[in-house]
Amino acid sequence: MYEGAVQNLIDELGRLPGVGPKSAQRIAFHLLAAETADVHRLVNALVAVKERVRFCAVCGNIAEETQCRICRDPRRDDTVICVVEEPKDVVAIERTREFRGRYHVLGGAISPIEGVGPDDLRVKELMARLSEGRVTEVILATDPNLEGEATATYLARLLKPMGLKVTRLASGLPVGGDLEYADEVTLGRAFEGRRALDF
């Protein structure tokens, strides 16, 4: 245990994902030794992310205005929506340059173990967007793991009565992995080979 402020910092850092007690201690002492100006820049970046960044009112992606950059872009195709779990999946798919439609970010996947059901995801918002009638195809790009598959199955069944084309990314993605870690080529080819879902 260290004196008050240092220990506080170690504790806070240790709460971050992927940071164990050893790393927390190393980062804390790094900050202690750093120039004051550098630390202020970090503090400002932290504060700015909480104060300026919000979630897009349309798709749930990260945005700095009411709507995100993609939702504001008039060149994007309004007839296709790609449904993903997290904002970082949007970034991953954008990197492939395969997709010119719109996104919908659910904010997670169905997982009873973690107490996450459909009501905890942005499913109602998705249905509202679809009921506007412009969308003809929904691509379900949830993670290729069990929870992602279950979420896709749930949505596919929900969407069935609406008569839309519902597709799922082709497998070939590493199973059990997170979409965000897939490389561009793999993810791009998965987009090419997306298949219709029929449950």
Partner 1 sequence: MHVSHLQLADYRSYEAAYLELEPGVSTFIGPNGQGKTNLVEAIGYVATHSSHRVAHDAPLVRRGAQRAVIRAAVVRHGQTALIELEINPGRANRARLNRSPNTRMRDVLGILHTVLFAPEDLALVKGDPGERRRFLDELLTARAPRYAGVRSDYERVLKQRNALLKSAAAQNLHHRGGRDLPTLDVWDEHLAQIGAELLAARLALVAELQPLAAKAYGELTATQDPISLRYRCSATDEELDTTNRPQLVEILRAALLRARPDELRRGVSLVGPHRDDLQLWLNDLPAKGYASQGESWSYALALRLAGFELLRADGDDPVLLLDDVFAELDAERRRRLASYVRTAEQVLVTAAVPDDVPQELSGARFRVTGGSVERER
In the complex, the residues that contact partner 1 under the rule CB under 8 A are: 110-113, 115, 117-118, 146-147, 149-150, 153-154, 157, 175-176, 199
Q: Which of partner 1, Zn ion, none has residue 61 at its interface (CB below 5 to 8 Å by kind)?
A: Zn ion
Binders of Zn ion among residues 26 to 65 (CB under 5 A) are: 56, 58-59, 61
When the beta carbons of 130 and 150 are compared against partner 1, the nearer one is 150
Q: Which is nearer to Zn ion, 9 or 81 (CB)?
A: 81
For residue 168, the surrounding DSSP H or E stretch is strand 165-168
Q: How far is the CB of 143 from partner 1 (least distance, A)?
A: 13
Q: Phi then psi for 104, rounded to 5 degrees?
A: -140, 120
Integer Cα distance of 18 and 166 in angstroms: 36
| Residue 3 Cβ vs Zn ion, minimum distance, rounded to whole Å | 46
Element (H, E) at 66: none
Measured from the CB atom, is 68 or 126 closer to Zn ion? 68
Residue 114 Cβ, how far from partner 1 at the closest point, in Å?
8
Judged by beta carbon distances under 5 to 8 A according to partner kind, the member of partner 1, Zn ion, none in contact with residue 167 is none
Q: Give least dist CB 86 to partner 1, A.
A: 19
Nearer to Zn ion, 61 or 151 (CB): 61
C-alpha–C-alpha distance, residues 108 and 122, integer Å: 9
- Cβ proximity to partner 1: between 105 and 110 the closer is 110
User: Least distance from C-beta 68 to Zn ion, angstroms?
Assistant: 3
Q: By CB under 5 A, what part of segment 68-107 binds Zn ion?
A: 68, 71
Q: Kindly list the residues in this chain that would bind Zn ion in the complex (CB under 5 A).
A: 56, 58-59, 61, 68, 71
